[in-house]
Chain A
Amino acid sequence: MSEAAKKPVKLSKKDFESDQDVRWCPGCGDYAILATVQRTLAHLGCKRESTVFVSGIGCSSRFPYYMNTYGFHSIHGRAPAVATGLKVTRPDLDVWVITGDGDGLSIGGNHLIHALRRNVDLKILLFNNQIYGLTKGQYSPTSAVGTRAASTPNGSIDHPLNPLSIAIAAGATFLARVVDTDAKLMATILERAYKHKGAVFIELLQNCPVFNDGIWEEVQDDPEGKQIKLVDGQPLRFGPGGSRGVRMRADLEVELVEVGDGPGQCPESHLLVHKERGAKAYAQLIAGMMHPQFPMPVGILHIEDKPTYEAMAAAQVRDAIAKSGPGDLEKLLYSGMTWEVGADGVKA
């Protein structure tokens, strides 16, 4: 084992699988995500020893146990805080955060927004299945109004949060969304996310076969009609052969249109054009396009470059050392008003 670790060998997906039995329910969307993450890390040539998965509590938060990397299964909602402490003190590590809609947006909402606003270089994967699974099926902060669940037999009455809208507002510098079964797009996003320096937020539309089965089924099964694949520099198009598109009206509402030059159609040049490094207002606009009213934008919504928290924190330490010299504890202790008491026991 130690010999193998010394040699720079190309790792495979298998190398990232731990020896623990995966205990998610059969058919859980988490399996596909786990496999894609393991495959992508191998593909990227990540080192197992330099990779840490930090999670909170919930079904998705068992994820670290199945990765043959370092892992910290923390407490409910607090993974971004634990990961922040780790990344700030150990910027050499690749730190991933696994969370869910309950863990990340309800009990841990505060930590999530603050990790994002600080732009800590964390890769945060939020598994959104719109339900609490591990506690046996209560509605979650992303559940649609009217969700009938264990705790809401008459239907939920509170309005759902939109994870990407929150993340954009909080200041995430890399935002993306993907369906759990779309391994190809997920791998592309994960690769780009890995290379991004800063706070990454990826919403994974994940199916819970036991408590909320099929919640994303339409989106998943009809990628052409119900998903808008975001491609940098390309107009927002969807539908059979890209026959439909998204336009912004004068009143700043988005509108779905037939693309073409005929009567009642909208010319392609009038469609919104996706820019990964575009305006935040645009990213917020398309993040707001939610199923079932709209086809859901998937892919990379927004990227921007900002200094990371850990880099700035390290710079402050470096600057302080450059300015005042490396700390001299003896000198510090003896600083301020000191006096000496001589052998006679009286102040000199």
Chain B
Amino acid sequence: MSTRDSQLDTKLERVVIRFAGDSGDGMQLTGTEFTKAAAEAGNDIATFPDFPAEIRAPAGSLAGVSGFQLHFSSTEIYTPGDAPDVLVVMNPASLKTNIKDLIELGTLIVNSGTFVDANLTKAGYKTNPLEDGSLDKYKVHTVDISHLTMTALDGSPLSNKEKGRAKNFFALGLVFWMYGREPENEIRRIVQQFAKKPDLGDANVKVFKAGYHYGETAEVFQTVYKVPAAKFTPGVYRNITGGEALSLGLLTGAHLAGKPLFYSGYPITPASTILHTLAKYKNFGCMTFQAEDEIAAIGAALGAAYGGSIAVTASSGPGIALKGEGIGLGIMTELPLVIVNVQRGGPSTGLPTKTEQSDLFQAVFGRNGEAPVPVIACKTPGDSFYCAVEAMRVAVKYMVPVILLSDGYLANGSEPWPLPDLRALKPIPTGHRTDPEGYFVYQRNPETLGRAWVVPGTPGLEHRIGGIEKDSLTGNISYDPENHQRQTKIRAEKIQRVTQEFGEIDLRGDDEGDVLVVGWGGTYGALRAATEALRHQGKKVSHVHLRWLSPIEPGLDRLVRRFRQVLVAELNMGQLLTILRARYALDAVGLNKVMGQPFKVKEVVDAIDGLLGGRAASAGDVEITAATGAMV
């Protein structure tokens, strides 16, 4: 530990900090590095990177602001935090777009060196907010980070432009000091990371130290805030993003099946991370195929599945739309396949880098014909690992394409993750039939209704499959009316049988009460945190999280009838709400938000409180919707 006057230390239970700056300011890196420090200190963490779709929007523009929010805590946390306690802004544009979120009396650290006329104008400020009193309700610390960075690098061989780029490390150094983090670890990481560019590495270390020492010497920061280590279940942990966890889950699923993984995809935000991650794992026998388009990606995956590989394709909403016909072909030919949708704001191109849960209908219904598939959704970054394994298990066991839903918030967000015990994961059996005796293409396993996975190369079992309706036994083309009805029913029944795989329903709270909050996917953290908060106040609120959206968990039916009110909270305009109402003729209401942002815990608490108080509450821009799912 570095030496400091310990009398100035103040203990905090939890802190939400947000770094915001221009797209080129390196705020994602700053946030990621500070997250590592929090993990090192043993805090519980949750992160929320939030960046624009443009790689480099014009410098200083509002459109180009990129942010990274980190919530670190000495107690268990579920979300990256509703509102930052501390906001670090690198220019006027990032102040403008983020200040409204800072809590009252929150700490604001401003790189004052960028508050010049040109930047103020670009951000739409008529007067300088650092001088006009508009920031009076915050604890403002102005630091000319730009200038101090240049000074720290006096005599460096780098160009002025390169020097300027190091300023994010000044900010990092400063917050390291503020929260009593260990600077040596970070210095080691910088040196390692820039091993190939030692000049840059040296500069970053110098600037990082300058920031750290500034905190120590400048009298403005009198207190060091310490967030003690949180309590965790014993085990080995690492910090993981949803994208990484999902990729590792796919790799693990293939490993459990004892087969190579074939992954095909077409570049799309925010799903490309999976392609990038898996492309590095060729020594696992994993083959990645960057297809010419989304349709080719699912086509190649189907071809690989037909050949006996564990096949996966991933995309986001617009790409999944293009894959629709291919998913139908997978349903008809009954081939195992995992289709990942890392959801983003829609429709059309929508909000490529922002999160939303509006592809639920697409996943459950979005194909021609009667075309049900199992749909599973990840609830946290770490859970993405297990969902990927589970999706693969069901695909292979039931011979069916499975849709796995993630979202931008989960894929980019991170949390401490207890590493799985590989030996505790059950293998995924993939017996390929080789016995030609009495074989028929659509002969079925009586338990799963899956057909036998016969792969080309097997003598005596030559057969043809395809998208045309087939005889329910022989697999020959059939236009027989009864046969089509029979096959349609079997395909639906097969999906229902997947409920055999379900564990206990994920319920927090009592199984009866006043309000049951129903959610799915990445809203899990906010909904659980809101429920806990209200239960703490003695309110009869429970939260049920649906892991599978198709088929629906059988236990839900009974549960929803044991609460006075049911609130279905989701980041869309009421898609699960509509499904549940259709299924149970249920008088539920929705809590719906489509702002490209996750739920805040407070929004959910207010909505539940509103229901408890008999009011059809509305929390700001978040809508409580009528039972029909339409906006009111």
Question: Could you list which residues of chain A lie within 8 angstroms of chain B, going by C-beta atoms?
Answer: 1-2, 4-6, 18, 20, 47-50, 52, 54, 57, 64-65, 67-75, 78, 80-90, 92-93, 110-111, 114, 313, 316-317, 319-321, 323-327, 329-330, 332-334, 336-343, 345-347
Q: How far is the CA of A340 from the CA of B235 in the complex (A)?
A: 6
Interface pair A111/B236, CB less than 8 Å apart? no
Task: Give the chain A neighbours of B358 by CB distance below 8 A.
Answer: none
3 nearest A-B residue pairs (beta carbon): A73-B466, A85-B303, A347-B42
Interface pair A345/B233, CB less than 8 Å apart? yes
Task: Give the chain A neighbours of B287 by CB distance below 8 A.
Answer: 88-89, 313, 317
Q: Which secondary structure characterizes the binding site on chain A?
A: mixed
- B314-331 residues at the A interface, CB under 8 angstroms: 325-326, 328-329
Interface pair B457/A111, CB less than 8 Å apart? no
B282 within 8 A of A: yes
The residue from A52, A83, A93, A327 contacting B285, defined by CB atoms under 8 A apart: A327
Interface pair A329/B464, CB less than 8 Å apart? no
The residue from A110, A114, A337, A342 contacting B36, defined by CB atoms under 8 A apart: A337
Interface pair A88/B300, CB less than 8 Å apart? yes
The residue from B260, B283, B333 contacting A325, defined by CB atoms under 8 A apart: B283
B115 within 8 A of A: no
With A320-B282, A337-B238 as known contacts, state yes or no: A85 contacts B262, CB within 8 Å.
yes
Task: Give the chain B neighbours of A87 by CB distance below 8 A.
Answer: 303
B406 within 8 A of A: no
B264 within 8 A of A: yes
Extra contacts, 15 of them, besides A54-B303, A333-B252, A340-B236 (Cβ < 8 A), are A1-B460, A4-B460, A73-B467, A85-B299, A85-B304, A111-B295, A313-B289, A329-B284, A330-B422, A333-B422, A334-B238, A339-B42, A341-B234, A341-B236, A347-B40
Interface pair B237/A340, CB less than 8 Å apart? yes
Q: How far is the CA of A341 from the CA of B455 in the complex (A)?
A: 46
User: Taking CB as reference atom, which chain B residue is nearest A114?
Assistant: B292
Q: How far is the CA of A60 from the CA of B238 in the complex (A)?
A: 55
Task: Give the chain B neighbours of A68 by CB distance below 8 A.
Answer: 462
Counting contact residues on chain B (CB < 8 A from A), the size range is 35 or more
Task: Give the chain A neighbours of B419 by CB distance below 8 A.
Answer: 333-334, 338
With A81-B295, A329-B251, A332-B248 as known contacts, state yes or no: A88 contacts B237, CB within 8 Å.
no
Q: How far is the CA of A111 from the CA of B297 in the complex (A)?
A: 10
Interface pair A74/B293, CB less than 8 Å apart? no
CB distance from B247 to the nearest CB of A (A): 10
User: Taking CB as reference atom, which chain B residue is nearest A316?
Assistant: B282
Binary A-proximity of B418-440 (CB < 8 A = 1, otherwise 0): 11101000000000000111000
Interface pair B465/A71, CB less than 8 Å apart? yes
Interface pair B304/A89, CB less than 8 Å apart? yes
CB distance from A38 to the nearest CB of B (A): 13
Task: Give the chain B neighbours of A18 by CB distance below 8 A.
Answer: 464
Q: How far is the CA of A294 from the CA of B544 in the complex (A)?
A: 73
User: Taking CB as reference atom, which chain A residue is nearest B293?
Assistant: A110
Q: How far is the CA of A180 from the CA of B325 in the complex (A)?
A: 32
- Which of the listed residues B283, B287, B308 has the most CB atoms from chain A within 10 Å of its own CB? B283
Interface pair A89/B292, CB less than 8 Å apart? no
B302 within 8 A of A: yes
Q: How far is the CA of A287 from the CA of B420 in the complex (A)?
A: 59
User: Taking CB as reference atom, which chain B residue is nearest A310?
Assistant: B287
B353 within 8 A of A: no
The residue from B231, B252, B292, B311 contacting A85, defined by CB atoms under 8 A apart: B311
Task: Give the chain B neighbours of A320 by CB distance below 8 A.
Answer: 282-283
Interface pair B329/A74, CB less than 8 Å apart? yes
User: Taking CB as reference atom, which chain A residue is nearest B456?
Assistant: A70
Interface pair B465/A324, CB less than 8 Å apart? no
With A64-B466, A114-B292 as known contacts, state yes or no: A347 contacts B232, CB within 8 Å.
yes
The residue from B237, B252, B422, B467 contacting A74, defined by CB atoms under 8 A apart: B467
Q: How far is the CA of A20 from the CA of B286 in the complex (A)?
A: 38
User: Taking CB as reference atom, which chain B residue is nearest A19?
Assistant: B476
User: Taking CB as reference atom, which chain B residue is nearest A68?
Assistant: B462
Task: Give the chain B neighbours of A313 by CB distance below 8 A.
Answer: 287, 289
Task: Give the chain B neighbours of A57 by CB distance below 8 A.
Answer: 467
User: Taking CB as reference atom, which chain B residue is nearest A48?
Assistant: B462
User: Taking CB as reference atom, which chain B residue is nearest A20?
Assistant: B476
B105 within 8 A of A: no
With A70-B456, A70-B462, A341-B233 as known contacts, state yes or no: A85 contacts B295, CB within 8 Å.
no
Interface pair B260/A49, CB less than 8 Å apart? no
With A78-B296, A345-B231 as known contacts, state yes or no: A49 contacts B461, CB within 8 Å.
yes
Interface pair B234/A72, CB less than 8 Å apart? no
Q: How far is the CA of A23 from the CA of B286 in the complex (A)?
A: 41
User: Taking CB as reference atom, which chain B residue is nearest A324?
Assistant: B283
Task: Give the chain B neighbours of A341 by CB distance below 8 A.
Answer: 42, 232-237, 418
CB distance from A172 to the nearest CB of B (A): 15
CB distance from B468 to the nearest CB of A (A): 7
CB distance from A133 to the nearest CB of B (A): 16
B41 within 8 A of A: yes
Task: Give the chain B neighbours of A92 by CB distance below 8 A.
Answer: 457
B350 within 8 A of A: no
Q: How far is the CA of A171 from the CA of B328 in the complex (A)?
A: 31
With A73-B464, A110-B292 as known contacts, state yes or no: A90 contacts B457, CB within 8 Å.
yes
Task: Give the chain B neighbours of A332 by CB distance below 8 A.
Answer: 248, 251, 281, 284
Interface pair B283/A326, CB less than 8 Å apart? yes
The residue from B234, B297, B326 contacting A75, defined by CB atoms under 8 A apart: B326
With A65-B464, A110-B293 as known contacts, state yes or no: A2 contacts B437, CB within 8 Å.
yes
Q: How far is the CA of A6 from the CA of B436 in the complex (A)?
A: 12
User: Taking CB as reference atom, which chain A residue is nearest B41?
Assistant: A347
Task: Give the chain A neighbours of B231 by CB distance below 8 A.
Answer: 345-346
CB distance from A52 to the nearest CB of B (A): 5
Q: How far is the CA of A145 from the CA of B216 in the complex (A)?
A: 81
CB distance from B225 to the nearest CB of A (A): 18
B151 within 8 A of A: no
With A89-B260, A327-B283, A347-B232 as known contacts, state yes or no: A333 contacts B248, CB within 8 Å.
yes
Q: How far is the CA of A110 from the CA of B299 in the complex (A)?
A: 13
Q: How far is the CA of A6 from the CA of B459 in the complex (A)?
A: 8
Binary A-proximity of B235-274 (CB < 8 A = 1, otherwise 0): 1111100000000100110010000101010000000000
Task: Give the chain B neighbours of A73 by CB distance below 8 A.
Answer: 464-468
Binary A-proximity of B456-480 (CB < 8 A = 1, otherwise 0): 1111111111111000000011000
Task: Give the chain B neighbours of A88 by CB distance below 8 A.
Answer: 262, 287, 289, 300, 304
Task: Give the chain B neighbours of A343 by CB distance below 8 A.
Answer: 234
B301 within 8 A of A: yes
CB distance from B440 to the nearest CB of A (A): 13
Q: How far is the CA of A83 from the CA of B457 in the complex (A)?
A: 15
Interface pair B464/A71, CB less than 8 Å apart? yes
